[in-house]
Amino acid sequence: MQPSPTQTGRWRALQAHAQRLRAMRTLELFTRDPQRVTRCSAQACGLYLDYAKQRLDAAAIDALIALAEERELAQWRERLFAGDCVNGTEARPALHMALRAPRGARFIDSRHGDVLADVHATLDAMRRFAGAVRGGGWRGATGAAITDVVNIGIGGSDFGPRMVCEALRPFVDGPRPRFVANVDPADLNDVLAGLAPATTLFVVVSKTFTTQETLANARRARSWLVESLGEAAVAHHFVAVSTNVREVALFGIAPANMFGFWDWVGGRYSLWSAVGLSAMLALGPERFDALLAGAHAMDRHFIEAPAAANLPVLLGLIGIWNSNFLGCASQVVVPYAQRLALFCGWLQQLEMESNGKGVDRDGRTVDHPTTPALWGSVGSNAQHAYFQMLHQGPAVHAIDFILPVEGDAGCDEMQRMLVANCLAQSAALMRGKSVHEVRAELQATGLSGAALEAAVPHRVFPGDRPSNTLLLPRLDPAHLGALLALYEHRAFVQGVIWGVNSFDQWGVELGKQLTRRILDRQSDAVIDPSTAVLMQRTGLRR
């Protein structure tokens, strides 16, 4: 049994480093170390990470790496890739890296042996199906070609393919991808409003095929189709992605129209499996392959690169440093790329479902914060929303800026503006503006006396607000794959340091149980008086 990380000498050493560095301006660190920009940067798979704006120096980085060694990060990474049951509470491996490994690689599920043959058999089946739908070989019940694909799924069965289709929109040349997740009927209604049954294909995605929201949407979609095309049309317009053949068959989708995956694929790590089918249909098999190849390249980097040059290790340790040692209030992620508008939602599930845990692997209550609240949205829009708080609010938040350098062709001037905005924000957050500077600025405008003094405090920026900047050459399938795998491994690194199981999610169960009870009107014994009244007022109980 590993002790809590807080009980180690390495943790205490890091607390001392934090105290030392809190007393120093970040800008001063550049003066002290002329090599800082080189030292505090790393690159892999085309991605460049600048972390020179963090309140870190070489000694603190070494201490963080020493903490990772003490927490046996290398050994846990080996166990992860070896297919050991790293998901202890469910006695399963977490082998999502196998989903993007090329033929010939070896990935072993410690319980059942080699998984790669199954992975590639499924990928081949997906490619054949995508080729047929895109090429017109697979048609709807009336003989019309498929023009729209509706992915019905939620959580990990939605965020990944939805975000990828949005991020790679210029590469979409197949049927139009649509997504329905919410059990709010408005979601499905709005999507169906623009569609014709004869040209619509539904992909029902659910690892368990028992998720209430997904099944409710799938049933309504099925009725919508059957009403106009009849029962026999289901076989032409519905396919399933699941691990649960029995439930899929009970729903009325034949096993021949099902794409499988395995219990060792966690929902939030499942984009690379058949869960990505809607993305493959939209983008085509080659681009989906490029996405997988980018992620695989990041897997290799994660295994091979030394800690000090390892992007997932560095990002993970910097996150720990900011939240556990510098006390940052949250993790903000701001992509300066409109097409990454859904990235944050995907990342929220990845990080907060993975590491939002209050007990360690052995079931002991943790004595330190685990994953911070993660939020964000695209820049430059975000600058006109919550950046005021990031710059001048009393709490300090850690920020990741993500910036594809090259934008859409023929729009160089606007892309330059976007890039300049991104760089200006991270610089301003670090630099701040002192009382002295503000006073000088105001004096130059002619202000003086009491009016000047009253104006000064409102215009001061404390600075020293830490950020990473991650550059991608452009938003294409390979670089997107690498970016997503980078954050997946970052979550793993942090889970290892905190000592939690990053691959289960028991915290979602109680709400599901109570929903069922409320729907069954079993309120009296289990529901508190407040909820009982709300049930009455909403018509759930008379």
Q: Which residues have a catalytic role annotated?
A: 353, 384, 512
Q: Which residues contact 124 (CB under 8 A, 6 or more apart)?
A: none
What track of x and - describes contact with ligand F6P for positions 296 through 335 (by CB under 6 A)?
----------------------------------------
Task: Provide the β-strand partners of residue 467.
Answer: 399
- Closest to ligand F6P by CB, 45 vs 188, is 188
d(CA 40, CA 53): 9
By CB under 6 A, is residue 156 in contact with ligand F6P? yes
d(CA 267, CA 261): 11
In the set 26, 54, 157, 467, which binds ligand F6P (CB under 6 A)? 157
Q: Minimal CB distance to ligand F6P: which residue?
A: 267
Please, what is the minimum distance in Å from the beta carbon of residue 460 to ligand F6P? 43
By CB under 6 A, is residue 505 in contact with ligand F6P? yes
Please, what is the minimum distance in Å from the beta carbon of residue 94 to ligand F6P? 13
Encoded amino acid at 56, one letter:
L
- Closest to ligand F6P by CB, 242 vs 426, is 242
- Closest to ligand F6P by CB, 215 vs 418, is 215
Count residues contacting ligand F6P (CB under 6 A)? 14
- Closest to ligand F6P by CB, 171 vs 261, is 261
Task: Provide the β-strand partners of residue 434.
Answer: none
Angle at CA 401, nearest 5°, toward 396 and 405?
Answer: 160
In the set 92, 268, 301, 339, which binds ligand F6P (CB under 6 A)? 268
d(CA 224, CA 226): 6
CB 427 within 8 A of CB 444: no
Q: In what order do the strands lie in the sheet with 238-242?
A: 176-180, 148-152, 200-205, 238-242, 258-260
Residue 362's Cβ-count burial label (10 Å; 0-12, 13-18, 19+) is exposed
Q: Of 49-57, 153-161, 294-302, 432-440, which segment contacts ligand F6P by CB under 6 A?
A: 153-161
What track of x and - describes contact with ligand F6P for positions 368 through 407 (by CB under 6 A)?
----------------------------------------
Please, what is the minimum distance in Å from the beta carbon of residue 213 to ligand F6P? 8
By CB under 6 A, is residue 508 in contact with ligand F6P? yes
Q: What is the dihedral of CA 93, 98, 103, 107, to 10 degrees?
A: -30
Please, what is the minimum distance in Å from the beta carbon of residue 206 to ligand F6P? 3
d(CA 503, CA 87): 5
Please give the structure tokens belonging to residue 460.
Answer: 């001061």
- Closest to ligand F6P by CB, 467 vs 505, is 505
Encoded amino acid at 195, one letter:
L
What track of x and - describes contact with ligand F6P for positions 431 through 460 (by CB under 6 A)?
------------------------------
d(CA 6, CA 509): 29
Which H or E run contains 151?
A: strand 148-152
Please give the structure tokens belonging to residue 182.
Answer: 């919410």
Q: Of 39-47, 85-93, 149-157, 416-424, which segment contacts ligand F6P by CB under 6 A?
A: 149-157
By CB under 6 A, is residue 154 in contact with ligand F6P? yes
Question: What residues between 187 and 216 interact with ligand F6P by CB under 6 A?
Answer: 206-208, 211, 214
Regarding beta strands 108-109 and 113-114, do their DSSP bridges make them parallel or antiparallel, or are they unpaired? antiparallel
| Residues in contact with ligand F6P by the rule CB under 6 A | 154-157, 206-208, 211, 214, 267-268, 353, 505, 508
